[in-house]
Amino acid sequence: MCGRYAASFSPDDLVDDFEIDLDATDEPARSILKNPQEPPAGTPDWNMAPTKQAPVVLTRAPREDRDGDPVRQLRLLTWGLVPSWAKDVKVGLRMINARAETLLTKGAFVKAAHTRRAIVPAEGWYEWQASPTVTDAKGKPRKQPFFVKRQDGRPCAFAGVYEFWRDRSLADDDPDAWLTTYAIVTTAAEPGLDRIHDRQPLVLDPDRWAHWLDPEVTDTDEIAGMLEGMPPGRFEAYPVTTAVSSGRNNGARLLDPAPESDLRGVVDPATGELIGG
C-alpha cells in the first residue's frame, strides 16, 4: 500500500515538471480536516497523509468553458476517494489506495478509472518493513520506515483516480457543496522493493503521462494496458528514522538516512542482507 509520501515540491516546480497549463492550487477547495492543515495545503509537505489536500494533476475542460479543449491542470484534492454515491466522507479513509488488479471492476473506482484518471506528484513514498528477527515492546515485528524515490532524481508520478462528491445538505451555491478526492493506484512490488512491502504505487514514466490523463481514453482494454509493463529498477530505497511514523512531524529531515547504529533487524532491500541482528 501507499499510506504516506513526500509531496515536497513547490507548485511552481510542478508546473514546469508536469507541463501544467492551469495552476489552480490557489482556488478554494473543500477540506474535511477539523483543524487547519499543516503545512498549509499546496506548500511542500514531507509527510503527506490521508485526509490532507495535495496537488494533483488532471486533464479537464476549465469550469468556465466545459465545451473547450481539455486542459492539464494542477489542483488541490483530498487524499482518500469518496465515491459519488457515498453517504459520508469518512468512507474515503478506506479508499486511499486502488489496486491495479481490480481498478477496472471495483464499484468505488470503476467510473473514475475510465474517465477521471490523475497523476499524483511526489518526491517519493514511505513504506514500513516488518523485521523478521526483532520485535517491539508489544511482541510484534519491529517496523522500520524506508523512503523510496527514483534513482534518476525525477519526481515520481503516481497513477491515480479522482472523484466528485456532492454534499446534499448544502445549497447549490455553497462553495463547500462539492468535495474532490483521489486514490493512488498500487501494484505488486518489484524485486527488491518487495523486501520492504508487497505493494508499491504505480509510478508512470513521462512518456505515459499524456495517455493516462486523456479523458477521451475510455476503452477498458486500453486502460488495462496502461496498468502493466512498468520497468523495474527505477528506484532506490533506504531506511529513515521513525520520526515519519508520527503525522505531527514534518520537514526535509524526514528524508535523512537513519544512522546504521539505529537499525535493528532490518533487511537490505538491494541485497537481502540483515542489518543490526
User: Minimal CA–CA distance to 112: which of 92, 83, 89, 85?
Assistant: 83
Is residue 156 annotated as part of the catalytic site, yes or no?
no
User: Minimal CA–CA distance to 195: which of 255, 153, 132?
Assistant: 132
Give strand ranges (E) for the chain. 4-7, 22-23, 45-48, 53-60, 71-79, 97-99, 117-122, 124-135, 141-150, 156-166, 178-188, 199-201, 235-239, 266-267, 274-275
Among the listed residues 123, 127, 156, 163, the single catalytic one is 127
Among the listed residues 2, 123, 156, 163, the single catalytic one is 2
**Grid cell 474515503 in the structure block, residue:** 92
Residue 193 to residue 237: CA distance in whole angstroms: 8
Instruction: Give the pLDDT of residue 193.
Output: 97
Residue 117 to residue 84: CA distance in whole angstroms: 15
Question: Which helix (H) or strand (E) segment is 18 a member of?
Answer: none
Question: pLDDT of the chain along its 277 residues, tens only?
Answer: 689 999 999 889 999 999 999 999 999 999 999 999 999 999 999 999 999 999 999 999 766 656 678 999 999 999 999 999 999 999 999 999 999 999 999 999 999 999 999 999 999 999 999 999 999 999 999 999 999 999 999 999 999 999 999 999 999 889 899 999 999 999 999 999 999 999 999 999 999 999 999 999 999 999 999 999 788 999 999 999 999 999 999 999 999 999 999 999 999 999 999 998 7
Could you tell me the domains of the chain?
Answer: 4-275 (3.90.1680.10)
The reported pTM is 0.95
Residue 264 to residue 135: CA distance in whole angstroms: 9
Q: Do the Cβ atoms of 51 and 64 come closer than 8 Å?
A: no
Torsion of CA 133, 138, 140, 143, to 10 degrees: -80
Residue 225 to residue 243: CA distance in whole angstroms: 38
Q: Give the SS3 label for residue 43.
A: coil
- The 8-class DSSP code of residue 257 comes to B
Residue 46 to residue 49: CA distance in whole angstroms: 10
Q: How many CB atoms lie within 10 A of CB 143?
A: 14
Q: Do the Cβ atoms of 158 and 185 come closer than 8 Å?
A: yes
Give strand ranges (E) for 109-154. 117-122, 124-135, 141-150
Instruction: Give the pLDDT of residue 274.
Output: 96
Say whether the peptide bond before residue 231 is cis (omega within 30 degrees of 0).
Answer: no
Give the HSE-up count for residue 143: Cα atoms under 13 Å, Cβ half-sphere.
11
Q: How many CB atoms lie within 10 A of CB 12?
A: 10
